[in-house]
Amino acid sequence: ETSKRTERIEAALEELGDDVVILGHNYQRQEIVEHADFIGDSYQLSKEAANADAEYVIFGGVTFMAESADIITDDDQTVILPSMEASCPMAGMAEALQVDSAWAEITAAAPDANIIPITYMNSYADLKAFCASQGGLVCTSSNAHKAFEYAFEKGDKVLFLPDKHLGENTAHRMGMEDAIAEWDPWDPEGKAAAEVAESDIILWDGYCQVHERFTTDHIEQVRDANPDAQVIVHPECRREVVEAADKAGSTATICETIETADPGETWAIGTEIHLTEHLKRWHPEVNVLPLCGDACMDCNAMRQIDPNYLTWVLEELVAGRERNVIEVAPEEKELAGLALERMLEI
């Protein structure tokens, strides 16, 4: 049975026609993804935003994704985020001002090195602009290793922000696990500078509060209860969790793994719970399990995109009013765009 709200969303979309495209991240709830024209991971959605012709791009996701969409789309296109409260806590863990002062210390610690900063997509536009200004770029979890290769062709050290776990997992994937240092902004023992001088990969101390909660105990428990289960986790998980899993990859890789699984296979998924729930619905032939019971692993930033807000922004557009427009400051747009272009090219 169609709810009143669904009817209102559909009626508004009918009215707006080709003027609107809805992009939905894999972590959005069912009532959002069922209205999305495209569902995907951060990388796929940035490509869809770049290809979109619609005047309005409605982003079912978090602020940094909507900012990136604004940078990538044409000037006459408008990006709308149904809730202005949808901010990823990890993106807030590396503020451009903070990074600016750390950069001075990090570069002073290795004065002869050419350090290339790489920021994960999960960061704000001013940090992306900073990275471009220093010869660096953006990456997502699906292309972090390629961004590292790009950086090591241009320079001799990488500063990776903000996600230390993705940074560490990528270093392992590249066989560079012995070359890692974690930047400590407080550095009570004065060791940070020496570590920077000795290491090729410097990690910022940020993390995702959803993925950091997965532990190797969860993997053991799921394997004990389901001896045939294979485990796939997102590379924002801790190193030991990625190591204990059978496979790790972006949300698109997780989707692909379940899409291509043989009927009857069992997969336990270590990522935000809404994606696990979608995959259960979309692929009933596969036995899909959440890695950590049903209870937790819910991203409160993604959850801010409530279907009632989607209804509101669409109905306001029908009435000729633009609400919750995401606009990156012009002084950051060009450089942040360069950091994103470099990613789209690798």
Binding site for ligand 13P (CB under 6 A): 26, 41-43, 88, 122, 140-141, 236, 250-251
What's the CA gap between 71 and 340, in Å, rounded? 9
Helix (H, G, I), strand (E, B) or coil at 184: coil
What's the CA gap between 279 and 251, in Å, rounded? 11
Q: Which of residues 74-103 bind ligand SF4 (CB under 6 A)?
A: 88-90
By a kind-dependent CB cut-off of 5 to 8 A, residue 89 interacts, out of ligand 13P, ligand SF4, none, with ligand SF4
Tokens of 277: 């729930």
* Amino acid present at 165: H
Place of tokens 């309005």: 56
Measured from the CB atom, the residue of 27 and 148 that comes closer to ligand SF4 is 27
Tokens of 236: 């924002």
Helix (H, G, I), strand (E, B) or coil at 146: helix
By a kind-dependent CB cut-off of 5 to 8 A, residue 143 interacts, out of ligand SF4, ligand 13P, none, with none
By a kind-dependent CB cut-off of 5 to 8 A, residue 41 interacts, out of ligand SF4, ligand 13P, none, with ligand 13P
Binding mask 172-201 for ligand SF4 (x = CB under 6 A): ------------------------------
Q: Which of residues 9-68 bind ligand SF4 (CB under 6 A)?
A: 62
Quick one: DSSP state of residue 271?
Answer: S
What's the CA gap between 288 and 293, in Å, rounded? 12
Measured from the CB atom, the residue of 198 and 256 that comes closer to ligand 13P is 256
CB 149 → ligand SF4: shortest distance, Å?
A: 23
Tell me which stretch binds ligand SF4 (CB under 6 A): 9-17, 101-109, 129-137, 207-215. Answer: 207-215
The secondary structure of the chain in percent helix, strand, coil, rounded to multiples of 5, reads 50, 15, 35
8 A C-beta contact, residue 307 and residue 104: no
Q: Can you tell me which of 122, 250, 311, 324 binds ligand SF4, judged by CB under 6 A?
A: 122
H-assigned helices in 79-137: 96-109, 125-133
CB 188 → ligand SF4: shortest distance, Å?
A: 28
Measured from the CB atom, the residue of 88 and 147 that comes closer to ligand 13P is 88
Helix (H, G, I), strand (E, B) or coil at 11: helix
By a kind-dependent CB cut-off of 5 to 8 A, residue 200 interacts, out of ligand SF4, ligand 13P, none, with none
The residues of the shown chain that bind ligand SF4, judged by CB under 6 A, are 62, 88-90, 122, 208-210, 236, 272, 299, 301-302
